[in-house]
Amino acid sequence: MTRANGTSPRTPLLDRVDSPADLRALPDGLLPDLAAQIRAFLIDRVCRTGGHLGPNLGVVELTLALHRVFDVREGGDVLLFDTGHQSYVHKLLTGRREGFDGLRSEGGLSGYPSRAESGTDVIENSHASTALSYADGLAKALALRGERRRRVVALVGDGALTGGMSLEALNNLGAAPDRPVVVVLNDNGRSYSPTAGGLAAHLARLRGADPPATSDTATSDTGTGHGGVFTALGLAYLGPVDGHDTRAVEEALREAAALGRPAVVHCVTGKGRGYPPAERDRADHLHTVGVVDPRTGRARSPSGPSWTSVFGEEIAAIGAERPDVVCVTAAMPGPTGLEAFARRFPGRVFDVGIAEQHAVTSAAGLALGGARPVVAVYSTFLGRAFDQVLMDAALHRLPVVLVLDRAGVTGPDGPSHHGMWDAALLPVVPGLRLAAPRDCAALRELLREAVAEDGGPTALRYPKASAGPDVPAQARIGHCDLLREDPAADVLLLGVGPMAGACLEASRMLAARGVRTSAADPRWIAPLDNALVELAAAHPLVLTAEDATAANSLGARLGQELARRGSPTRTVTLALPPRFLPHGPRAGILDEHGLDPAGIAAAVLDHLPHGGSRPGAPGHPGHSGVRRERSTR
């Protein structure tokens, strides 16, 4: 790891490896030293930049073996990662060492496989449980093209195996005995936290603690376990193998490849291997890290309260008041902020594994039984359960609360993790109410309103970031909070969620240019609040700023409703474009798309006559007639 004087570790052996060919040329006896140098390199670089540390430290020998046995290149064997956050060693071995200095920064190396970086990166995945389905389809395509000598290899974590798609793919792979797919099961007993469910117990028995009573398929010389569910589905099973013994893994992989049929190689590894802070980290805080001290694994400087931590505190407080409140998570109790709730009410938290579809419908069942379920999930992963939100929760008008962490621009995790789509998808769900808190106080308030809702599902969305200071309201109109009120204003700025603070600052900037504006926070952004529509209609120009895709945004829906009512109000929507955005700092991406105070102010000036050079405009007729209630905050 990094030395006490701050210099990088010496890695002379790693310096000689720029390609899989270089790796295969090394004598077996040098592989342990190479593995140690790779770990030292990863600890040094990832602690500087942030990234997924624990998973990659656990797959060093495994990845070495994969690249020594299989010819992974364009036109050669295909290597798929599930999930892609365990691909750092693969990147090192395929000539991308220099890119680690800019890991997950703007223009730098992606934290996941990237087709733009290397032809050996076939899928750009970070959503778990997909690789086996990709493997099934790729193997079929190669067979149709007569390329049967190319092997398809999928490295799958035991956590990813809990997802429904993995089981669906295994069901199909097992029915095709002539398909040469090698499933490498990286079994470390964890995803973000200990792997949940009956499958985890089954894998533990395969590891030898309590072997299954029967097995109808032969085992391999490389292990003494039984194939269990894998052989029952028709796949060959080899293992368990020590995943940190490169030679043993190589032998098992060669045997699996020689079979010419779908096979599982069960490798047992330790997450965070070789880095004491990660090995001791049972809460998995070092699964992914920001910039940390490599000696301790702790953040170098404290940050303010995160949205996640505020949610965690408030849902625990609500749980103490309401015994009917239960929480559901898809393998992420820690990252979604449920640790405090779980400590206080362990029997009321249900970790269903990486299975968002099941999580939502199970929550619907909990609601049918009289519980008040809160489903905590990343925004990007909710898309996997859209049908369940629509047909299982909303159709039955069940009070399921969806708490969407990492909404909007997430920053360094890139296009598959930006939570841009929930605010476009959820407004089409009949009866669902969607909220976006602007600050910590609003999050607490809106969460309580959501839990109290009896008429159907609700959802709250907030970003991956430190929460700023609370923004007080001057008045409340319907569900909308007025943050800056000017009866003579002919411009209304509507900031969705954290964009409310940016709109308020833009309003002050515009005032210095002689442009009079009001600023408001809609709070509940779907369905449209009639009072919000009336407030917007009282202004000639309304601008919405939204940390979500422009498609089906609040601004788009508000403009359609105003047009339907025949209002002359003009609406302008500042939002994210409907395309996949690259990784980079959250603030930088927002600035690039005009979602900062200066960008918002500039957009207003662009849409005012004479660029806003005139002094304040007279108030719009009827503006003063909108009913206001004083805010209680």
Annotated binding site for thiamine diphosphate: 85, 126-128, 159-160, 188, 275, 356
Asked if 140 is an active-site residue, the reply is no
Q: What's the CA gap between 479 and 502, in Å, rounded?
A: 20
Alpha carbons 517 and 617: distance in angstroms, whole number: 9
Name the catalytic one among 356, 505, 534, 546.
356
Burial per residue of 227-254, b for 16 or more beta-carbon CB atoms within 10 angstroms, e otherwise = bbbbbebbbbbbbbbbbbbbebbbbbbe
- Of 154, 191, 231, whose CA–CA distance to 355 is shortest? 191
CA-based nearest residue to 498, from 457, 470, 478: 470
Q: Which residue has the tokens 């990492």?
A: 406
- Binding site as annotated, residues for Mg(2+): 158, 188
Calpha distance 226→16 (Å, rounded): 40
Query: Is 614 marked active-site?
Result: no
Residues 6+ apart with CB under 8 A from 234: 173, 174, 175, 177, 262
Q: How far apart are CA 433 and CA 393, in angstroms?
A: 12
| Residue 82, SS3 per DSSP | strand
Write out the DSSP string of 525-563.
Answer: EESPPHHHHHHHHTSSEEEEEEEEESTT-HHHHHHHHHH
Q: For residue 266, give the nearest of 190, 204, 210 by alpha carbon.
A: 204
Longest dimension (CA), the chain: 86
Q: Is 330 in contact with 353 (CB distance < 8 Å)?
A: yes
Binding residue numbers: 85, 126-128, 158-160, 188, 275, 356
Catalytic status, residue 271? yes
φ and ψ at residue 148, rounded to 5 degrees: -75, -15
Choosing from 271, 348, 461, 557, the catalytic residue is 271
DSSP string, 464-475: SSB-------SE
Q: Is 423 within 8 Å of 406 (Cβ atoms)?
A: no
Residues 273-280: contacts with CB within 8 Å, 24+ apart? 273/39, 273/57, 273/58, 273/60, 273/244, 274/36, 274/39, 274/57, 274/60, 275/1, 275/39, 275/43, 275/53, 275/54, 275/57, 278/53, 278/54, 278/57
Cα-to-chain-centroid distance, residue 37: 30
> What's at 10, amino acid-wise?
R
Paired with 405 in beta bridges are 378
Cβ neighbours around 530 below 10 Å, total: 11
- Residues with Cβ within 8 Å of residue 607, at least 6 apart in sequence: 541, 543, 570, 572
With H, G, I as helix, E, B as strand and everything else as coil, classify residue 9: coil
Looking at 68, 384, 406, 586, which residue is catalytic?
A: 384
Which residues participate in catalysis according to the annotation? 271, 356, 384
